[in-house]
Amino acid sequence: MPSFDVVSEVDLHELANAVDQANREIGNRFDFKGTNSSISQTDTSLTLVSDSDFRIKQMQSVLFEKMTKRKVDINSLEQGKIEKAGTGAKQVSVVRQGIDKDIAKKIVKQVKDSKLKLQAAIQNEQVRVTGKKRDDLQSMMGKLREADLGLPLQFTNFRD
């Protein structure tokens, strides 16, 4: 029976490349000369550090530009508040991987409301959609792309 998986994944290697490019541009820009502005990445978070919250916002725009050029979706970042720490400012953004239970339930509900002969099952951090017709599965992919669920979706493991 044909099926596909709905996942939300971020290519961490591409994200690391975008962070490196953004750091290089921030280091070369005239308006950032003499400031301790940098972006650091751990496995699931990005930390932006600078002198002021205005510079943090400028760094965000540079980072977002580099992410879009590398085809890393900006919606995969859950941005924290800009915190003033001593003489500087800091912002921690979390990289969201996987589909949480609430969004998975919304996807399952959307599959059931579509009136197509499809079944959806939540499997850990992904949703598997199965059906008899390949055309139904492809139309469901289109409907899920149009839906505004707050995080980027990819469709993997399409089996015929």
DSSP conformation letters of 15-55: HHHHHHHHHHHHHH-GGGTTS--EEEE-SSEEEEEESSHHH
Mean pLDDT of the chain: 90
The CATH number of 12-95, from 3.30.70.990, 3.20.10.10, 3.90.1280.20, 3.40.50.2300, is 3.30.70.990
What confidence score (pLDDT) does residue 38 get?
Answer: 92
| pLDDT band, very low/low/confident/very high, at 26 (cuts 50, 70, 90) | very high
Rounded to an integer, the average pLDDT of 74-93 is 90
What confidence score (pLDDT) does residue 148 get?
Answer: 83
Tens-place pLDDT, residues 101-132 = 998 999 999 888 888 889 889 988 899 999 89
Cβ neighbours of residue 65 closer than 8 Å, sequence gap 6 or more:
22
Which residue from 80, 71, 70, 68 is spatially nearest to 44, judged by alpha carbons? 80
Q: What's this model's pTM, rounded to 2 decimal places?
A: 0.84
| pLDDT band, very low/low/confident/very high, at 49 (cuts 50, 70, 90) | very high
- What would the two tokens of residue 72 be? 């890393």
Rounded to an integer, the average pLDDT of 71-96 is 90
| pLDDT band, very low/low/confident/very high, at 15 (cuts 50, 70, 90) | very high
pLDDT over 70, % of the chain = 100
Residue 2 in this model has a pLDDT that exceeds 80: yes
CATH 3.30.70.860 domain position(s) in the chain: 3-8+98-159
What confidence score (pLDDT) does residue 159 get?
Answer: 83
Residue 39 in this model has a pLDDT that exceeds 90: yes
Do the Cβ atoms of 22 and 63 come closer than 8 Å?
Answer: yes
CATH 3.30.70.990 domain position(s) in the chain: 12-95
What confidence score (pLDDT) does residue 124 get?
Answer: 86
What confidence score (pLDDT) does residue 18 get?
Answer: 95
The CATH class of 3-8+98-159 is alpha beta
Which residue from 2, 40, 42 is spatially nearest to 22, judged by alpha carbons? 40
Residue 20 in this model has a pLDDT that exceeds 80: yes
